[in-house]
Amino acid sequence: MEAILRPIYQERASDPNTLGILHIQKKDKVSPLTDTFDSILLVVTKEAKRPIFTKHYSFDGQKAALHIVTEQQLRKWLTLGKNPKIVDWLLHGRILFDRNEAIVNFRQELDEFPERGRKVRMGIEFARLTRRYLEGKVFFEQQNYLDAYTELVDSLHHLARLAIFERGMHPELMVWKQVKVLDPAIYKLYDELVSSSEPLQKRVELLFLASDFLIHSRIKEGALHIQEVLSQKPYWSIQEIHEQQELRYYSTDLEVYIEYLVEKGLLLVEEHPTKSSHVMHRYYKTVE
C-alpha cells in the first residue's frame, strides 16, 4: 500500500517545510484509530496557512486520508488531549520521512513527558473532572438519574486519564485498556457502573461515594499547575485569570474549578471594596 501512496507523500517530503511523514495502517476490520480508512498519512509541517488540511483518496477498492498538520496544532492537541488518536499515530505509525529526526524527537518527548507538561495536562483534566462530577451530583440530587449516570461516566473517564498522567504516560485511544493495567481500582469503578445489575439509582449513588475518595486523593497534584501560575501575583481577578496565557486551555471549566479549589481550601478569596458599601470585589490567591 505504501508503494501506491508513495507519489503522494514524496511530493510532501520534497517540501522544505515538512518535518515528517507517518503512515498508519488499519489493523482491524472496523478501526476507530484510522477513522475507518485503510490508511492514514500524517504530514507534520513547520507552519502553514491552515493548521489542518485533509484530503481523501480511493484506490483498488480502498480509501486513504492525508492529514497535513502544523507542529503548533499538533502540540495543541497534545496539550488539550482533544485528539487521542494523535498519540497512537505518533507513537506507533511507521515513519516514512523524518527531517532532522523531528518525529523521533516527538516520540522521545512523548515518552519522557516532561514534568511541566504533565502538570498542565493534569490541571486541565482535573478541571474537566470537577465540572462533570459536580454537575452529576446536582442531577442526582434532582433525581435525574440517567443524566447523573452520564456525567459520572464522563468524570470516570477524566479520572482514568489522570491516573495515566500520574504514571508519566499519555492516554491513548483505548483508555480503559491502559487503565485496567495501570490503576485497577478506577477500572473496577467504571466496570461496576456500566456492568452492575443493581438499579441505576443505586449504582450511581454507590459510585459517587466511592469516587469521592479517589478524586480527593488527587486534588493536590491536580491543582499544582494553577497554584504555581497564581502564585506569580498576590491576587487575581477572574478576568485576569481568564486572560493568563497558561490558563487559557482550562476554558469553560475554569470558574467551576476555581470555586471548587476555594471550597477545598487550596485557593483563597480576598475581598476588595467597590463603590457600593454592600458589594465587594472578589479576588483569588494561593495559600501561603
* Of residues 244, 248, 78, 104, the one with CA closest to residue 169: 78
- How is residue 135 written as a grid cell? 454537575
Task: Give how many domains the chain has, as a whole number.
Answer: 3
Distance CA(275)–CA(273), nearest Å, equals: 7
Q: 90 with 43, same domain? A: yes
Q: 86 with 162, same domain? A: no
Q: What is the mean pLDDT of the chain?
A: 91
Reported as a single tens digit per residue, the pLDDT across 217-262 is: 899 999 999 999 999 999 999 999 999 998 988 988 999 999 999 9
Provide the CATH number for the domain around residue 227. 1.10.10.10
Provide the CATH number for the domain around residue 74. 3.30.460.10
Q: 117 with 199, same domain? A: yes
Angle at 166 between CA 183 and CA 268, to 5 degrees: 120
Spell 76-87 as b/e; 16+ CB within 10 A means b: ebbeebebbbbb
Assign 1 a pLDDT band (cuts: 50, 70, 90).
Answer: low
Assign 60 a pLDDT band (cuts: 50, 70, 90).
Answer: confident
Q: Determine the average pLDDT of the residues in 65-79.
A: 92
Contact 22, 41 (CB under 8 A): yes
Most confident segment among 70-79, 102-111, 166-175, 258-267: 258-267
- How is residue 96 written as a grid cell? 516514512
Q: Note the pLDDT of residue 30.
A: 63
DSSP string, 160-225: HHHHHHHTT----S-HHHHHHHH-HHHHHHHHHHHH--S-HHHHHHHHHHHHHHHHHTTHHHHTHH
Give the DSSP letter of residue 93. Answer: S
Q: Note the pLDDT of residue 188.
A: 92
Q: Note the pLDDT of residue 9.
A: 86
Assign 116 a pLDDT band (cuts: 50, 70, 90).
Answer: confident
What letter represents residue 266's amino acid? L
159 C-beta neighbours (distance < 10 Å), count: 23
Last residue of a domain, one of 169, 204, 222: 222
Residue 33 belongs to what H/E stretch?
Answer: none
Q: 66 with 163, same domain? A: no
- How is residue 168 written as a grid cell? 508519566
DSSP string, 227-263: HHHHTTSS-B-HHHHHH-GGGGGGGGGHHHHHHHHHH
pLDDT > 70? residue 274: yes
Choice between 7 and 148, residue whose per-residue pLDDT is larger: 148
Q: 198 with 249, same domain? A: no
Assign 286 a pLDDT band (cuts: 50, 70, 90).
Answer: very high
Q: Determine the average pLDDT of the residues in 192-201.
A: 90
Distance CA(40)–CA(26), nearest Å, equals: 8
Which residue segment(s) compose the domain that 170 sits in? 113-222
Q: Note the pLDDT of residue 247.
A: 93
Q: 40 with 75, same domain? A: yes
- How is residue 187 written as a grid cell? 477500572
Reported as a single tens digit per residue, the pLDDT across 10-32 is: 888 999 999 999 999 988 766 67
Provide the CATH number for the domain around residue 160. 1.20.120.330
* Of residues 15, 10, 32, the one with CA closest to residue 23: 10
pLDDT > 70? residue 134: yes
Distance CA(34)–CA(30), nearest Å, equals: 9
- How is residue 198 written as a grid cell? 443493581
Distance CA(174)–CA(164), nearest Å, equals: 12
Q: 138 with 189, same domain? A: yes
What 3-state DSSP class applies to 94?
A: strand
